[in-house]
Chains A and B, each alone.
Chain A
Amino acid sequence: MLKKRIIPCLDIKNGRVVKGINFEGIKDAGDPIELAQRYVKEGADELVFLDITATLEKRKILCELVSEIASEINIPFTVGGGINSLEDAKMIINSGADKISINSSAIQNPKLIAEIVNEFGSQCVVLAIDTKFVDNQWIVFRNGGNVNTQLNALEWAEKGVELGAGEILLTSMNNDGTQSGFALEITQQVSEKVSVPVIASGGAGKKQDFAEVFEKSKATGALAASVFHFGQIPIPELKEFLNKQNIPVRI
């Protein structure tokens, strides 16, 4: 049986893992390689690395980090942050990433999704959507949650999949960093609507939150950061817990 995926997310700034609350207030959470190795040992199913300060000059450094990660870990990993062109995507994938995640650049230039898909296939392209509940609607934000795009999250997810995105990484900005649970409603809606895997993100605080999002939506993966980085929820314990609730996970 296909297992639900538990995915730690490592936000990278200047080569260190950092974590903010509601997209702000950043604190240090360690060395990316060490943390990644720890997660592989603990049974993480995939890893996501988001470079939150990706600039052109830093791109080279990121590629070096990606190739170091690729040589140290043997589970799939996604890299995102500042991927604005097919060339950027090529650099990251050729450095050893399995998938790239695109967000703002895809909103500004939806054709980019198709371009990367044509080169590397759908399975390489994760469309990351940051969404916030505003005026009774789930709206897509870009640039690290700073710009309201007026796009409807559900419609944007469908459009992205139409253009070839092989996976949706759906982050609720309302929930992110609050540890109050995943945004069930929008996760449910998006995962019912699109035909590709959806990863729920933002708000994990306790083990039950993971169980709930898997029970109440069709998400096949759940992503979290601080609860893993700071040891609040050890992955083996989380998987044991989910297993007991009859949610299929890799033990």
Chain B
Amino acid sequence: MIAILKYNAGNVKSVENAVRKLGYEVIITDDDKLLKSADKVIFPGVGEAASAMKYLKERGIDEVIKSLQNPVLGICLGMQLLCEHSEEGDTKGLGIFKTKVKKFPTENLVPHMGWNNFSFLNGELFQNVNLEDDCYFVHSYYAEICENSTAFTDYILTFSAALQKDNFYATQFHPEKSADNGLQILKNFLQL
């Protein structure tokens, strides 16, 4: 069973559809027992950091996420909330990844929206994925490169396109919206 974390984020449906398409059963939940006992947990995210974190804290889900031992995949805002801090709403993150989330310089075209490739790739999520393979990004904030970075992407500057530490995996791009490349990455995660 794959658990998708239920919180006040938009469009979790696409993640659910993609996971089902790969042949897995899915539950969308914020129940701590179900989250802990799931084979994998996906922490999706489209939304705003401060209000998302507030929602998680009010329900004690922040501590549940930190305590998870099963593989966790953070996507987009889900990834950013797993970092130490986000400039979006001056939000303290869950601190799994040793990096900070900053706003792209606004004089440039923001959000970073569309298909982009990688300048560095490493780790289990990226088996059968190449540097020139594009994935779909849409974000105005980025995670700085750090020791946990497993993929880099260039837009205005070089940032973390993916992170990993212990059982926590995360992507800035949306694998569920990245056609076949994204499905491969999701599949890699689900097969961990």
Q: Report whether A76 and B110 are in contact in the complex, using a CB–CB cutoff of 8 Å.
A: no
Tell me the chain A residues, 11-31 only, with Cβ under 8 Å from chain B: none
Q: Is A220 an interface residue when CB atoms closer than 8 A count as contact? A: yes
Q: Is B154 an interface residue when CB atoms closer than 8 A count as contact? A: yes
Known A2-B116, A98-B11: A250·B134 in contact at CB below 8 Å: yes
Tell me the chain B residues, 16-45 only, with Cβ under 8 Å from chain A: 17-18, 21
Contact string against B for A residues 117-145, beta-carbon threshold 8 Å, 1 for contact and 0 otherwise: 00011111000000000000000000000
| Cα A97 to Cα B46 with chains together (Å) | 12
Segment from B65-73, B143-151, B174-182 that makes contact with A: B174-182
Q: Is A1 an interface residue when CB atoms closer than 8 A count as contact? A: yes
Q: Report whether A2 and B11 are in contact in the complex, using a CB–CB cutoff of 8 Å.
A: no
| Cα A173 to Cα B131 with chains together (Å) | 40
Segment from A66-74, A106-114, A179-187, A229-237 that makes contact with B: A66-74
Q: Report whether B13 and A76 are in contact in the complex, using a CB–CB cutoff of 8 Å.
A: no
Q: Is B106 an interface residue when CB atoms closer than 8 A count as contact? A: yes
Q: Is A196 an interface residue when CB atoms closer than 8 A count as contact? A: yes
User: Which of these, A70, A94, A221, contacts B114 with CB under 8 Å?
Assistant: A221
Contact string against A for B residues 138-176, beta-carbon threshold 8 Å, 1 for contact and 0 otherwise: 111000000000000011000000000000000000101
Q: Is B102 an interface residue when CB atoms closer than 8 A count as contact? A: no
Q: Is A45 an interface residue when CB atoms closer than 8 A count as contact? A: yes
Q: Is B95 an interface residue when CB atoms closer than 8 A count as contact? A: no
Tell me the chain A residues, 191-205 only, with Cβ under 8 Å from chain B: 195-197
Q: Report whether B116 and A74 are in contact in the complex, using a CB–CB cutoff of 8 Å.
A: no
Q: Is B48 an interface residue when CB atoms closer than 8 A count as contact? A: yes
| Cα A3 to Cα B106 with chains together (Å) | 20
Q: Report whether B178 and A96 are in contact in the complex, using a CB–CB cutoff of 8 Å.
A: no
Q: Report whether B17 and A96 are in contact in the complex, using a CB–CB cutoff of 8 Å.
A: yes
Interface residues on A, range: 20 to 34
SS of B interface (majority): mixed
User: Which of these, A1, A76, A95, A121, contacts B47 with CB under 8 Å?
Assistant: A121
Known A74-B177, A74-B178: A250·B109 in contact at CB below 8 Å: no
Give the shortest distance, in Å, between B22 (CB) and chain A (any CB).
Answer: 11
Q: Which residues of the partner chain A approach B155 to less than 8 Å between Cβ atoms?
A: 2
Q: Which residues of the partner chain B approach A122 to less than 8 Å between Cβ atoms?
A: 111, 140
Known A74-B14, A250-B134: A121·B115 in contact at CB below 8 Å: no
Q: Report whether A120 and B17 are in contact in the complex, using a CB–CB cutoff of 8 Å.
A: no
Q: Report whether B177 and A195 are in contact in the complex, using a CB–CB cutoff of 8 Å.
A: no
Counting chain A CB atoms within 10 Å of each CB, the highest count among B106, B111, B113, B174 belongs to: B113
Other than the given A98-B11, A195-B107, 6 more pairs (CB < 8 A) read A1-B154, A45-B115, A76-B138, A122-B111, A122-B140, A195-B108
Using a CB–CB cutoff of 8 Å, the interface residues on chain A facing chain B are 1-5, 40, 45, 67, 70-71, 74-76, 93-98, 120-124, 166-167, 195-197, 218, 220-221, 250
Using a CB–CB cutoff of 8 Å, the interface residues on chain B facing chain A are 10-11, 13-14, 17-18, 21, 46-48, 106-117, 134, 136, 138-140, 154-155, 174, 176-179, 182-183
Top 7 A-B residue pairs of the complex, sorted by shortest distance between their CB atoms: A96-B13, A250-B115, A250-B134, A3-B115, A123-B138, A71-B17, A2-B116
